[in-house]
Structures are given as structure tokens and as C-alpha cells.
A and B are shown apart, each in its own frame.
Chain A
């Protein structure tokens, strides 16, 4: 099933600050948002921490920079920027965090626009989307 606007689904698994795959996934989401796609994201396992609201920037003594100078990349800010990006181009991002994964990690404090869900939500995304890109973790 397709909608008027291209609908793409993504499954992400990696926790923030652990893998370059996350950066790649977020760049793909950015590119799709710029093209006006509607996006469905199912965050599974460690990826539920990407929109965790309590991430904090910090100074970095090794870099010799204050917190302001460091402008640390916080994934929660990237998720928020992607949501704004999609809206700017007429689309939207539906970000669903796997609820059980959230509970395991105590990751329930998320930024606005993120909702809790189940694998059923992912399956519905898959059925609705033009295609699904899974970016799994690897040991």
C-alpha cells in the first residue's frame, strides 16, 4: 500500500555513541525528509536511547573546549532536527520506541514527538511503507 507522499520505514538498533551506523541512518533519514517523504522509525534495543531527553553536552578537556565550544552532537537534538526538517518539507516522522526496550533501559524520558510502541507498530509500518530499511547492529 502506498500513500500520496512516499512513505518509508526504518528500523534502527544501535545505541547512541556506539556505532557509525547510527550516523549513517540519521543521514538517510535527513535525505528522505528533505525530499518530503513521510517517515516511520521503529527504534529497537539500544536505539530507543537516541531520543532520550536527558542527554547532556559537556566540556572536553582533551579537546580543550568548553561545552559551548564543543557543540557536542546529541542524538536527541538530531532527532528533533529531523522532525523539524520533515515538517519543513511537508512530511512527518513518526518515531516509535519499542516499549519493552525502553523499560529495560529506563529510557522513558524522551523528547516530544516520540511515542512508545510494540513490534505490532513496526509490522504496521512495514505494511504501510513503500519499503523498509533495517539498519541492524552487529556484534
Chain B
């Protein structure tokens, strides 16, 4: 069974969770043997941007030593054979161009989305 996981909700609780929980879940499911690809849309296309740095958070004497590293989370997914798409229109609306993106991210034109969806047995929209 092949699954397309569409991630739209971005940076929802990434500081507290130290990751994006849906990307995390995709890692876990991949580890369990699932065949998964990921499509980033809306604000979540920013997950594919290189050079993100969420370090430095502190509250009083408490320091966050392990901040979220979503960039690495995505790179790790692609390294494990997961195709990660980002919707081209949403990238363009945010002024993001290919050089801004991690290697391996596939920009997907909106007209190609309709053709992509039927290739999957399940489509999850997060």
C-alpha cells in the first residue's frame, strides 16, 4: 500500500516537540515498512528551505539544547527513499526559488497534482 502524506500545517508545535510531529510520524512509519511519499503545501513548503536555525531558545535558566531540525528531518526522509514534493505555486507565493531548497526536493506544478494523487492507495492531508 502506497501513501501520499500531504503536510500543510507548519511549525505548529515544533519548538516543544523538537520536530514536526507529522514528519516524525512519517519516519516512524517508514521504519515500520510503509511506502510513503510526502507533499509539502501551504506554509509547510518552508520546511524544504535550507539553513533553518531554531537554536538559542531559553526560559530563565532553562536552555533548549536540542532544537527542532526540520531541514535534517526532511533530508533524512529523502535519504531513506521517500520522495518529498513541494507545491510550486506555494513556493512561488513565498518567494522561494530552487536554490533555496534542500537537494532532492521535487517542485510539483499544480496541474501535476491531480495526476499524482491516483498513484497512491491512501492520501492523508495533515
Show the binding face of A for B, using Cβ within 8 Å: 16-20, 22-23, 26-27, 30, 33, 60-63, 65, 69-73, 75, 77-78, 81-82, 84-85, 88
Contact = CB atoms under 8 A, between A and B. Distances in A.
A7 B101 CA distance: 45
Contacts of B18: 60, 63, 70, 72-73
A23 B26 CA distance: 24
A84 B65 contact: no
Contacts of A20: 11-15
Contacts of A61: 28
B59 interface: yes
Contacts of B15: 20, 23, 73
Given A70-B18, A72-B18, 10 more contacts: A17-B13, A18-B13, A20-B13, A20-B15, A22-B13, A23-B15, A26-B59, A62-B24, A81-B60, A81-B62
Contact of A77 (B11, B19, B57, B62): B62
Nearest to A79: B59
B61 A85 contact: yes
Interface in B41-81: 57-62, 64-66
12 contacts: A18-B12, A20-B14, A20-B15, A22-B16, A23-B15, A62-B24, A73-B15, A73-B16, A81-B61, A85-B59, A85-B60, A85-B61
A19 B10 CA distance: 10
Contacts, number: 64
A53 B62 CA distance: 17
Instruction: Categorize the interface residue count of chain B.
Output: 20 to 34
B59 A81 contact: yes
Interface in B18-34: 18-19, 24, 27-28, 31
A70 to B, nearest CB: 6
A84 to B, nearest CB: 5
A64 to B, nearest CB: 10
Nearest to B62: A81
Interface in B93-112: none
What are the 4 closest A-B residue pairs judged by CB atoms, nearest first?
Answer: A85-B60, A81-B60, A81-B62, A23-B15
